[in-house]
Amino acid sequence: MEAIGQLSGGVAHDFNNMLAIVLGSLRLLERRLERGDRDVSQFTDGIRQGAERAATLTQRLLAFARQQPLSPEPVDANKLIGGMSELLRRTIPESIEIETVLAAGLWRIHADKNQLENALLNLATNARDAMPDGGKLTIETANTHLDDAFANAQHEVPAGQYVLIAVTDTGTGMLPEVAEKAFEPFFTTKSPGQGTGLGLAQVFGFIKQSGGHVKIYNEPGHGVTMKLYLPRYLGQGDVATSLALTTSLPRARDRELILVVEDDRVVRELTIGMLHELGYRALEADGAAQALDLLAKEPQIKLLLTDVVMPIMNGRKLADAAKASWPQLKVLFATGYTRNAIVHNGVVDTDVELITKPFSLETLAQKIDRILYS
């Protein structure tokens, strides 16, 4: 009960802060506009920042609960880490040296590359905060085997072959009582406003959901090593590398027509507005029946963008019915909930393209561009 109280209290505290930013900025924005003042960028920025922080908090809670929808694929961790070098340099001050020690012949892993990047960025940020006067951050990779003795001494760790990613800092280290609670949600030693206490909880949840293991090696006063163990991937497939620095905003190439199916009117209208901003034409439906009618009437529809959780017929059944009649139709699912028809055991089905709510204009643009043109 104490842990549940800490979790719910932390959620309430952080969401109250974010809602205060959004609601306060909206009220000031309204008053400025009523007076005819168009200098409102500081308020729109505040609304966006508050909403983005809320979305990040939600994703971290899903990660901690091991309920985030993952899209695992073969990943070369060495290439992914190398692709993050510029992002890490932007995050870590020059007073901290960054070194990577990447093993030759590293095995591939099967993981969600974007979530792995987020996990490594979380660890790097924590390491930065532990070295306020400078120091050294080291990221290492290695092939390793966890034997039966090690596995039996841990929780939910089968013996076998793993890829190790270790993040080491030369900072202040953790007190033993702090290390014991490091993965608990909303536990933090940082000052108010400096962190949610969900960064390590997110890392823990993601690694466990991916079938791996996390271990802290701590030397108070000397530094911390966070070791991530991810199972070796023995299958076939293209190797994914980092996409962390994608900055372009792809647009429609031929004003393609997209059908948006969403039972929530506000979300539907917002999605339509995003598509128009990107140069696409759009039709809308509030459910599967109306969507199938529009598909029959409008053969120019190139993409079905559908919510998953809807009354009467869910998005997966709608997509199956649509593809049966129009095999060339592309489908993109949108959802904020993981226990549904397209996510099983936390992993997105292999034939599914998924975008997680709330999504940004940039994420929507990149996802649609890949589906329609790649």
pTM of the model: 0.53
What value does the CA radius of gyration of the chain take, rounded to a whole number of Å?
23
The confidence score (pLDDT) of residue 368 equals 94
Beta bridge partners of 282: 258
Per DSSP, the three-state class of 101 is: strand
pLDDT tens for the chain, residues 1 to 374:
454 555 555 556 566 677 777 878 888 888 888 888 888 788 788 788 777 777 766 665 554 554 556 678 899 999 999 988 888 888 899 999 999 999 999 999 988 888 898 889 889 988 998 899 999 999 999 999 888 777 777 777 888 899 999 999 999 888 777 777 777 655 565 554 444 444 687 788 888 888 899 888 888 888 899 999 999 998 765 555 544 444 568 999 999 999 999 988 888 988 999 999 999 999 999 999 999 999 999 999 999 999 988 888 988 899 999 999 999 999 999 876 544 445 544 455 556 788 877 788 888 998 999 899 88
Are the C-beta atoms of 81 and 45 separated by less than 8 Å?
no
Are the C-beta atoms of 141 and 108 separated by less than 8 Å?
no
Are the C-beta atoms of 63 and 205 separated by less than 8 Å?
yes
Are the C-beta atoms of 251 and 370 separated by less than 8 Å?
no
The confidence score (pLDDT) of residue 259 equals 97
The confidence score (pLDDT) of residue 305 equals 96
The confidence score (pLDDT) of residue 58 equals 66
From residue 78, alpha-carbon distances to 69, 141, 150, 165, 239 in Å are 24, 7, 25, 9, 11
Instruction: Tally the C-alpha atoms within 13 A of residue 202's C-alpha that lie toward its C-beta.
Output: 23
The confidence score (pLDDT) of residue 231 equals 92
278-296 as b/e: b if 16+ CB within 10 A = bebbbbbbbbbeebbebbe
Largest CA distance in the chain: 71
The confidence score (pLDDT) of residue 245 equals 43
The confidence score (pLDDT) of residue 24 equals 80
Using alpha carbons, select from 115, 118, 116 the residue that is nearest to residue 141.
116
The confidence score (pLDDT) of residue 63 equals 47
The confidence score (pLDDT) of residue 267 equals 86
Which amino acid, residue 233?
A: Y
The confidence score (pLDDT) of residue 278 equals 94
Are the C-beta atoms of 112 and 71 separated by less than 8 Å?
yes
Task: Give the list of residues 6+ apart from residue 264 with CB closer than 8 angstroms, or none.
Answer: 307
The confidence score (pLDDT) of residue 221 equals 83
